[in-house]
């Protein structure tokens, strides 16, 4: 979660006091959806880090977060199937479809629960 906060804080700070809103994101998802995708990516990474020992309170919390992250990604992707995500850490635009596909591949390597969420993302990718 700290990684997500570290990624989001510079984005939020660039919006303070400036009149150029285009510096917040260069993709076309808009600020809110772009931040959702960034947070979802962070939640998936945290879940995968804990999936090597799938038990305990930390794992349960991460699983809850990854369920929400999967739901969020599906909603954003269905709204903007041809959208472009702005990856602020790498300073590049990525097609949303590619980002969701990459996250599905990542989840597929994160145990049984991860595979289930990867399948949900895969279905969303195929349905549009």
What pLDDT, in 10s, does the model give residues 51-64? 988 889 999 999 99
pTM exceeds cut of 0.85: no
What pLDDT, in 10s, does the model give residues 87-101? 988 899 999 999 999
What pLDDT, in 10s, does the model give residues 18-48? 333 445 557 788 899 999 999 999 999 999 9
Neighbours of 55 (CB within 10 A): 8
Burial of 27 (0-12, 13-18, 19+ CB in 10 A): buried
């Amino acid at each position: 979660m700290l990684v997500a906060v570290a990624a989001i804080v510079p984005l939020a700070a660039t919006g303070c006091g400036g009149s150029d809103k285009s510096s917040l994101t260069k993709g076309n998802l808009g600020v809110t959806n772009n931040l959702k995708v960034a947070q979802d990516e962070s939640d998936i990474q945290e879940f995968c880090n804990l999936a090597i020992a799938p038990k305990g309170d930390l794992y349960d919390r991460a699983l809850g977060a990854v369920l929400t992250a999967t739901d969020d990604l599906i909603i954003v992707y269905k709204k903007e199937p041809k959208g472009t995500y702005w990856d602020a850490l790498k300073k590049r635009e990525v097609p949303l479809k590619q980002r969701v596909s990459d996250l599905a591949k990542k989840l597929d390597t994160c145990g049984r629960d991860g595979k289930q969420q990867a399948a949900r993302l895969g279905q969303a990718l195929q349905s549009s």
